[in-house]
Amino acid sequence: MIDKQALHSLDKRQRTALVNSLPGFKPVVLVGSVNDDRRTNLCVINSCFHVGADPALMGMIIRPAPEGTERHTLENILATKTYSVSAVTRAMAQRAHHTSARFDRDQSEFDACGFVEQWHENFPAPYVSESPLQLGLRLAEHLPLSINGTHLIIGSIEQIHLSKNAQRADGSLNLQAMDIVAGVGLDAYHSVSTAQRFSYAKPDKPPELI
């Protein structure tokens, strides 16, 4: 058992690596944004989560900038109120990871990391052109969290762009067919294998495989 005291006593890198792995497999996405001078920015995020389906809302957590550094994604979202979320495939993973480096404000991670900007009609933020699943979001709520200085950003989904054959007949997405990866901690990008899918759960019988 590792109790709170033991966790606190761990070497900082060990503790961070351990705690970052605890939530298990998580989505890994690229957040595209632009500032008021139309400079684009791209950054990898693994804290994206579902907030609600109707209205369609997605949340994410942006960490505060360490002393002497900047958080371009957060600044851009607060300034323009829009951003894109593009899913990361296996082929994109290495370049997506590169976007986490501290690039200067005037250097776009699109160019520096080898991604092509895509602009969709009626949406002011750039998408990653090769991503098979792209979402356009409008800032719906921003909550600075006093517990650790992070920022909760909730966006309403304004646009969904899907590659062909991404969607099943029941409306759900086949992420495996799109080769979208799942992340663990801050350095691992996993390919996923076939899912077990089950019928809607009811108290009186075990769910059936569908």
Ligand X SMILES: Cc1cc2nc3c(=O)[nH]c(=O)nc-3n(C[C@H](O)[C@H](O)[C@H](O)COP(=O)(O)O)c2cc1C
Within 93-112, which residues bind ligand X (CB under 6 A)? 97, 100, 102
In the complex, what is the shortest distance from the CB of residue 61 to ligand X, in angstroms, rounded to a whole number? 6
Helical segments of the chain, H only: 4-9, 12-21, 72-80, 93-98, 109-113
Distance CA 81, CA 67 (A): 25
In the complex, what is the shortest distance from the CB of residue 105 to ligand X, in angstroms, rounded to a whole number? 8
Of 43 and 175, the one with the shorter C-beta distance to ligand X is: 43
Distance CA 206, CA 208 (A): 6
Distance CA 134, CA 128 (A): 8
Q: Which listed residue (30, 34, 45, 137) binds ligand X by CB under 6 A? A: 45
Contact mark string toward ligand X, 112..151, x via CB under 6 A? ----------------------------------------
Structural contact between residues 36 and 133, judged by C-beta atoms closer than 8 angstroms: no
Structural contact between residues 85 and 159, judged by C-beta atoms closer than 8 angstroms: no
Within 19-38, which residues bind ligand X (CB under 6 A)? 28
Structural contact between residues 199 and 207, judged by C-beta atoms closer than 8 angstroms: yes
By CB under 6 A, which span of 67-75, 110-118, 154-162, 163-171 interacts with ligand X?
67-75
- Binding interface with ligand X (CB under 6 A): 28, 41, 43-47, 61-63, 70-73, 97, 100, 102, 183, 186
